[in-house]
A and B are shown apart, each in its own frame.
Chain A
């Protein structure tokens, strides 16, 4: 999954000479929190709702007025992403810098913007269901071939895997969460246990063990 797959392409921008009052109105009217600042077709910064609120707060020593300018409140130089960056790279940058968005540049051209919300959407797509399916959770040894043996067994039963997510659990083990195209996850779990897999869900029923 690349940045271009999750970014918003209809980017709302502003200019360094725009007023903070105007920017505030745009953000409220369009329900956005981040505006890339563009000058002569070039991205020069980003202004967020927090930048506007902080700059104009009466708690500031010298609060800016509504007719104050974007250039004095914006963040620059901007951090950016490329459309072909993997989404996890964008997420890592945003997490490391604790920022809420990355304008996406293809060369000099502003082609999109990725925000925290887009990353949450990506997480939902990666972990969630968009097709009817049953959930299966396993603990596998972090060794080569473990996952292959699991998917081979599922394929043998003619079942289709909709999604598969694996993450390290420490102690040489990984958790694997699958969404499988079947109502019959319990019989599948039983078969996997018999084949020696450690199945975390579905569990055996307390009154049957």
Chain B
């Protein structure tokens, strides 16, 4: 069983109907679970306090976010990463993002106090936010604030980021930190935002060798993904021996995603979630905190995160979705087939270049392991 953390207040983190980071994603997933007959109950977190935000973010930046949130005009807003099409300056954004940070922090507290081992924060994952700058839909970095709480409680943390975009904000905040290992699997920055996350970004100072990046070729499919995951992630975790695992479970590596180019199916995600739980059971006494993250196909994200809920609660994943769900969310689904949790098998025609893609990913994994070897042995 897993503790679920959620509040409808997450829905106020909303950049408008045209913006891809839509709160409808969680609502659709929760409604899907209800449609499947699950009585989903959750703990409602308190919003994060200003002091908690300041454990990671600079005071001047926080004041800018508060001013924007109150509708004040701020000079040179773009220097703070706000007021861009990606991260618009919307009134009320400060309490909205604090609700999310509060959720991730509540999850971390459940783990640090020993009140839970498996926690699913049904929101958050704002991994692009920097200490003093908003970026890529992310205003405050809920993950970094939660990780800081965990390390302040004396725990060593491995952060695993399976969002299709590089977890650059979390990596940058802990780049010199010896208590935090970050592992990010993502579509290569040669092709995708934010452009970083290459294998030679290994950390600095005491954190050297603890920042791990596995950039993948566009159109990498589930088998190829899980193969290099297996090559890199278990040995990395074994080398560091974390006491807690924090997982950013973005759903945007799905083949239907509107912003990125990897090609996982919902079935691949299910295998991946099972494997992450196995690793947590083997290495961290089962202590794991999942958050959500990116996911810009509503059709994919709702199903991926419903599957995440089922897997972390050791529940079976059924095939069929009741038609009433698809009817309720017809506008969001945009006519995509929604009769099953799993994508059809095969979900798409195999690519002609698939061998080359697999080969390049294998080579990158080997080069990464070569670069890490001096720090592991």
Contacts and interface: CB of A to CB of B under 8 A. Distances in A.
B308 to A, nearest CB: 22
A129 B195 contact: yes
Given A129-B196, A206-B348, A207-B349, A183 B137 contact: yes
B154 to A, nearest CB: 32
A158 B84 contact: yes
Contacts of B192: 134-135, 185
- What is the size category of the interface that chain B forms with chain A? 20 to 34
Interface stretch (B58-66, B178-186, B254-262, B368-376): B254-262
Contact of A129 (B194, B347, B349): B194
A159 B85 contact: yes
Contact of A186 (B86, B259, B348, B349): B259
A185 B84 contact: no
B196 A186 contact: no
Contact of B193 (A134, A187, A201, A207): A134
Nearest to A162: B195
B193 A183 contact: yes
Contacts of B165: 183
Contacts of B137: 183
A151 to B, nearest CB: 16
Nearest to A207: B348
A182 B86 contact: yes
Interface residues of A, number: 23
Contacts of B259: 183-187
B210 interface: no
A98 B268 CA distance: 52
A160 interface: yes
A133 interface: yes
Contacts, number: 72
Contacts of A129: 189, 194-196
B84 A160 contact: yes
Nearest to A133: B195
Interface string B244-283: 0000000000010011110000000000000000000000
B253 to A, nearest CB: 13
Interface in B214-253: 219
B78 A160 contact: yes
A115 B218 CA distance: 35
Contacts of A181: 84, 86
A22 to B, nearest CB: 33
A182 B194 CA distance: 8
Interface in B188-213: 189-196
B331 interface: no
Contacts of B136: 132, 183
Nearest to A201: B191
B261 A202 contact: yes
A29 to B, nearest CB: 24
Interface in A12-42: none
Interface centre among A132, A134, A159, A187 (most CB of B within 10 A): A132
Interface in B335-377: 347-349, 351
Contacts of A160: 78, 84
A183 B351 contact: no
Contact of A206 (B85, B260, B349): B349
A192 B136 CA distance: 21
B202 to A, nearest CB: 18
Interface of B: 20, 78, 84-86, 128, 135-137, 165, 168, 189-196, 219, 255, 258-261, 347-349, 351
Given A129-B189, A183-B20, A184-B85, 18 more contacts: A129-B195, A132-B135, A134-B192, A134-B193, A134-B194, A134-B195, A135-B191, A135-B192, A157-B85, A160-B84, A182-B84, A182-B86, A183-B136, A183-B194, A184-B259, A202-B191, A205-B255, A207-B255
Interface of A: 128-129, 132-135, 157-160, 179, 181-187, 201-202, 205-207
